[in-house]
Amino acid sequence: MQLVILNDYEQMSEFAAKFVRRRILDFNPSKDRYFTLGLPTGSTPLGMYKKLIDYCKNGQLSFQFVKTFNMDEYAGIPKNHPASYHSFMYHNFFRHIDIHPSNVHILDGNAADLNKECEEFEKEIHSAGGIMLFVGGVGSDGHVAFNEPGSSLASRTRVKTLAQETIVANSRFFNNDISQVPTQALTVGVGTLLDAHEILLLISGPLKAHALHNAVENGVSHMWTASAFQLHPKATFVCDEDATLELKVRTVRYFKGLLQSYLRIIEEPIEK
């Protein structure tokens, strides 16, 4: 596990975008060999998306041979609803890059059989060769996707009933009307995420400090979903200074000492 500590949200977002770009470029995808990328929603990855869009528009990166798989979607709201993750991804990312719509995979929260939809999503990931890189955000309670505290660390893509705290927190996307927030969502499982070849987790701000502490300094626990990625051989947490407020001084000092080597990795091609 690696922890990359940067000064602020802007630097964190730039690192994340360069990380994604470096992995795609090193993979050298083609029509016969697609790169598979797992993606999150929420406010945390917005800075990363903006920079990836810039790379694409400037000719520094192409998504022509990239297949994407999003982490989650609400159940029971239309795809064109302003709070749906279909809408979020389209407006904040997909419409600005050169990805073909057929290569975009987002769970359908309006499927006739939601359980079957989740099973088919797992099959699609498998058919694509698995996820090369899954990018995710971490919530203040340590959740990743809709894998809230108490989620099984072996869980697969499934229908999840949302906790009341999550419903209240997400009401800001529904005109602060709790009654409008879906009570269920479809989400990839922790086991699904752990199957990815590589994982990049973004954590920003003081409200996420307790989650980062539990994710990297305490043991693995189903009550802190993000802690499960201690078990992954290629997991990288990237955060800003504000998110480190609850980390031990020696933890911060140790990982900051490795920063230059991390920065070189995203700037230089991997030697074959």
Residues 95-119: pLDDT tens digits?
Answer: 999 999 999 999 999 999 999 999 9
| Catalytic residue, candidates 73, 141, 195, 240 | 141
Active site residue 143: yes
The pairing of beta strand 184-187 with beta strand 72-74:
antiparallel
If you average pLDDT over every residue of the chain, what do you get?
Answer: 96
Domains of the chain: 2-267 (3.40.50.1360)
Residue 126, pLDDT > 60, answer yes
Determine the pLDDT at residue 268.
66
Q: Which residue is catalytic, options 86, 105, 143, 213?
A: 143
Check pLDDT > 70 for residue 154: yes
Enumerate helices (H) and strands (E) in the chain, giving the number of each: 9, 10
What does the pLDDT look like over 13-39, one tens digit per residue?
999 999 999 999 999 999 999 999 999
| Dihedral Cα 167, 242, 41, 124, nearest 10 deg | -110
The question of whether 113 is a catalytic residue gets the answer: no
In angstroms, the CA 228 to CA 220 distance is 5
Q: Is 72 a catalytic residue?
A: yes
CA 249 to CA 130: how far, in whole Å? 37
**Is residue 184 over pLDDT 90?**
yes
Residue 229, both tokens: 């990625």
pLDDT on residue 270: 47
Instruction: Give the per-residue pLDDT at 265.
Output: 81
Out of 73, 148, 195, 240, the active site residue is 148
pLDDT confidence of 269, banded at 50, 70, 90? low
